[in-house]
Amino acid sequence: MATAKKPAGQPPAGGSATKSGTWIIWVVFAGLFLCCVGIGVVNGDDGGDDVLPPTAQERGDTVPILQRSSDSQGICYGWVLRDFYRYTDLSVGSNLGDGVAVEENAACPRWVQVVAQVAYTSESSESNDFARVTVETSDDVSATARLRMQNGLERLGLTEDAFVDEPGWAVTRAAVSLPLLAAEAGVVEPAPTPAAATAEPSPLPEIRSDLWRDRWGYFLAAFGLLLFTALLFAVGFWQRGRQRRKEAAGQGRTKDVRAAGRTPEGR
C-alpha cells in the first residue's frame, strides 16, 4: 500500500499555530502583570493615613510643664503616641525631656504616662479611623486610680475623636493634664500653689490741695491773659507819652517862630 509523502521543507501541521498561541498567552500575562504593578503604584501609600506626631513647639511647651509638676509632686509624667497598625512609637516624651520615656527608667521609680494608639484606614476600607487611649502607671498605683485618670481625660474633652482629629496636640494636652488627674485620683498630693509675694504697702501720697492740681491749666491761662493785658497797657502808656512829647515839642517851635516875627519894625 503506497503512502503519501510530505513535501520537502514543509513544517509539521499545527506547529505554527502552537507557537502563536504560546506568544499570545505570554503577552496577555505580561499585560496583566504590568496592569497590577501600575495599579499598585497609582494607589500606593501617599501619606494620607500617616499619624502626625506633635510638633516641635508642642513638645517644647509640654516638657517644662511636666518638669515643674514632677519636681513638686515627686512622680514622673510622660506620653507615648503610637501608630496602631505599624505598632511604632511616633512620639515619646516626659518630664525628663523630649524622646525620653518614663517606663523602665531608673530615674522614675514612680511614673504615670498616657499612651495613645491611633489608626487611620484608607478611603477604600469600610473600617473607620479610631484611637485607643490608656493611662499606664508604675506598679504602686492601683487599677482603680488608673481608671479614674483615664476617665478624667474624657471629662476634659480628650476623647478618642480628639485623638483621631489631632493626635499630636491631644497626646501632649493629655500629658499636661496628668498631674491634675493624679491628684484627683489620690496618687499624689496636689501641686502647691505658689504664694504671691507679699510686699509692704506703698506709702500714701502726701495730702495736698486739689485746687492747683486740678485747675492749673485755667490758672496758667488766666496768668497769661493778665500778662498780655499788662503788656498792652504798658505799650499804650508809652505811645501816649511819646505822642504828648511830640505835641509839646511842636508847640514850642510854634512859639519860637511867633516870637522871632515880632520885631520893633513890625510893631
More confident residue, 117 or 2: 117
pLDDT at residue 65, as a whole number: 96
62 part of a folded domain: yes
Please indicate, yes or no, whether residues 174 and 231 belong to a single structural domain of this protein. Answer: no
Q: Tell me the three cell numbers of residue 110.
A: 514612680
Please indicate, yes or no, whether residues 126 and 165 belong to a single structural domain of this protein. Answer: yes
Please indicate, yes or no, whether residues 127 and 239 belong to a single structural domain of this protein. Answer: no
More confident residue, 262 or 196: 262
**Domain end among 163, 184, 205:** 184
**Domain end among 135, 163, 184:** 184
Please indicate, yes or no, whether residues 166 and 235 belong to a single structural domain of this protein. Answer: no
192 part of a folded domain: no
Q: Residue 35: is it exposed, middle or buried by C-beta count within 10 angstroms (0-12/13-18/19+)?
A: exposed
255 part of a folded domain: no
259 part of a folded domain: no
pLDDT at 75 over 70: yes
Q: What's the distance, CA 240 to chain centroid? A: 79
pLDDT at residue 236, as a whole number: 75
Where is mean pLDDT largest: 104-113, 224-233, 234-243?
Answer: 104-113
Please indicate, yes or no, whether residues 219 and 118 belong to a single structural domain of this protein. Answer: no
More confident residue, 257 or 80: 80
48 part of a folded domain: no
Please indicate, yes or no, whether residues 155 and 236 belong to a single structural domain of this protein. Answer: no
Please indicate, yes or no, whether residues 96 and 140 belong to a single structural domain of this protein. Answer: yes
Helices (H), the chain: 15-42, 56-73, 143-155, 160-165, 167-184, 210-261
pLDDT digits (tens, 9 = 90+) for 174-230: 999 999 999 999 999 886 654 444 445 555 445 555 455 556 566 677 777 777 777
Residue 24: partners with Cβ closer than 8 Å, 6 or more residues away: none
What is the tally of structural domains in the chain? 2
Q: Which domain holds residue 100?
A: 56-184
**Domain end among 184, 203, 224:** 184
pLDDT at 82 over 90: yes
Please indicate, yes or no, whether residues 137 and 226 belong to a single structural domain of this protein. Answer: no
Please indicate, yes or no, whether residues 162 and 77 belong to a single structural domain of this protein. Answer: yes
Please indicate, yes or no, whether residues 127 and 226 belong to a single structural domain of this protein. Answer: no
14 part of a folded domain: no
